[in-house]
Amino acid sequence: MNPCCRLPGNNKGPRKRGLFVAEAPSAPTRRACLSLLASGLWAASSGAHASSFEDFFRAIAADNPQTLQALANRGFDLNTRNELLEPPLVIALRLDALKVVDFLLTRPDVDVEARNAKDESPLMIAALKGRLAQCEALIKRKAHVNKTGWTPLHYAATHPGEGAPALVKLMLDHHAYIDAASPNGSTPLMLAAMYGNRQVVAQLLDAGADATLKNEQGLTALGFAHRAGRPAEADRIAQHIRGSAPKGRW
């Protein structure tokens, strides 16, 4: 019989060792045996979980949705965050792992509003990257277009590519607040004036953006355009301001 499983009460008494009488070590109890067994199972389970954790993030980086599906079939939580507390959708969008993004968006258990430590949502990262199809899918899944602080419209307005006007239109069509203020008071128009596609400046102005607002540094959208050395955007904003000024009367 395995000594680990010997029941108590089988000891024959003390054994003589030279001049001393030593008690025979007592056999482990049934509870101790079960505890050891449970510890072994826990260690095996812990190792399997660690392996699944690593496999999950390797699959995201490799844009491999098949591995994610296999992990989900085994009960792995597709909302698991990495060591930096980044949610999977944000990671996949940041890495341009679009097959993984599209797979995660088909899963009703995936949280489309899970944000990173900077309060960036998946919709914000998709807008920043110019991913119109993924923005549409996120909004269809009820991702928030409006939020406090930086918003998806801020991020869409900074995109310099040709697809930026479509991104901005998508946000506005879903009731994005056009003059949303970032933590330092900057608006989407200010960011478009400094970083974005030239058409987006005109698009936001035509949609009613307020060109006279100032951020905490006292800069307006016109100031952003001048600071960035973008004379065309500055002229368009200045023209809008002149056209919006009240007409004097004699």
DSSP structural state of residue 16: E
Residue 37 CA to residue 186 CA, distance in Å, equals 60
Q: What is the pLDDT of residues 23-61, one digit of tens each?
A: 444 555 655 555 544 454 444 444 445 689 999 999 999
Specify the CATH number for the domain of residue 223. 1.25.40.20
Domain residue limits at 133: 49-141
Q: Determine the pLDDT at residue 248.
A: 59
Q: What is the pLDDT of residues 150-164, one digit of tens each?
A: 999 999 999 999 999
- Among 108, 99, 98, which Cα is nearest to 130's? 98
- Residue at 174 is within a domain: yes
Q: Determine the pLDDT at residue 30.
A: 58
The count of structural domains within the chain is: 2
149 and 238 share one domain: yes
pLDDT above 50 (res 244)? yes
Residue 122 vs residues 15, 112, 132: alpha-carbon distances, Å:
71, 7, 12
